[in-house]
Amino acid sequence: MAATKEYSVEEKLKGLIQLQKIESKLDEIQVLKGELPMEVKDLEDEIAGLQARRTRTEEEVNGIQEFIESRKEAIKESQALVKKYEKQSENVKNNREYEAINKEIEMQTLEVKLAEKHIKDANDDLYEKSQQLERINKQIDAKEKNLEHKRSELDKIIADTDKEEKALEKEIIKARQSVDERLLSSYERIRKSYRNGLSVVAIQRESCGGCYNSIPPQRQSEIRQHKKIIVCENCGRILVDSDLHDSVSI
Ligand SMILES: [Zn+2]
């Protein structure tokens, strides 16, 4: 039987910490890649929605402008009629005819006033719509800038990560070799059971760095002695002291 190297508990712990750090780094890349494409897609959808709103608002503006033009035409027609009636009133034959013409003039004058009121209201609408358009355009600008930024970030990550991921995967294979099999399988079991993939954690503020359950002082000092592998009573994660944790770099 080939002699297998015997590792001290401290060496085992260091091996685990290293493996955990490398795998966490790989996890970070996945998270980064996982969220950016979604953020880019969300921004694209939001911009498309705003652009549709802008088109609708522009159409509304056109409609209002056409309405204003039609009212201006109506005013011109009424004014022309008033002029015509005024001329006619110079040659009336009797009182009845005079009154009838006057009534027409009065009606056309009212028409003009009504059209003027419509134009005023429409102009108010127009102002509101132009304010709306300004706001929409600002939102589109801001989101487009953000999108551009996210896209370049994503492109950069995609360009970078392939290389880094492959390098990390190699390191993981190497790091696994320095952890004994039994320990490795419990490490993996714990890692799989938590969404954040943390299996080895440092003590933080007298508590487990994974579940924040407090650790009694006696247990903390046992952990610091590196005599045996100690797991959190609450979450089962492997506990190490922060000095040991910090001493391992990847
Ligand atoms: Zn815990």
pLDDT for 66-92, tens place per residue? 999 999 999 999 999 999 999 998 988
23 C-alpha to center of ligand 1: Å?
Answer: 19
Tokens of 58: 């522009």
Task: Compute the distance between CA of residue 39 and CA of residue 92 in angstroms, rounded to an integer.
Answer: 79
203 C-alpha to center of ligand 1: Å?
Answer: 9
Ligand 1 (ion): which residues have CB within 5 A? 208, 210-211, 213, 232, 234-235
Long-range CB contacts for residues 77-81, cutoff 8 Å, separation at least 24 = 78/108, 78/109, 78/111, 78/112, 78/115, 79/108, 79/112, 81/108
What pLDDT is stored for residue 5 in this prediction? 64
- 108-126 residue pLDDT tens: 999 999 999 999 999 999 9
- 168-216 residue pLDDT tens: 999 999 999 888 889 999 999 999 999 899 999 999 999 999 999 999 9
Higher-confidence position of 1 and 5: 5
What pLDDT is stored for residue 33 in this prediction? 77
10 C-alpha to center of ligand 1: Å?
Answer: 20
246 C-alpha to center of ligand 1: Å?
Answer: 19
32 C-alpha to center of ligand 1: Å?
Answer: 26
Q: What is the pTM of this model?
A: 0.54
Tokens of 97: 């005819």
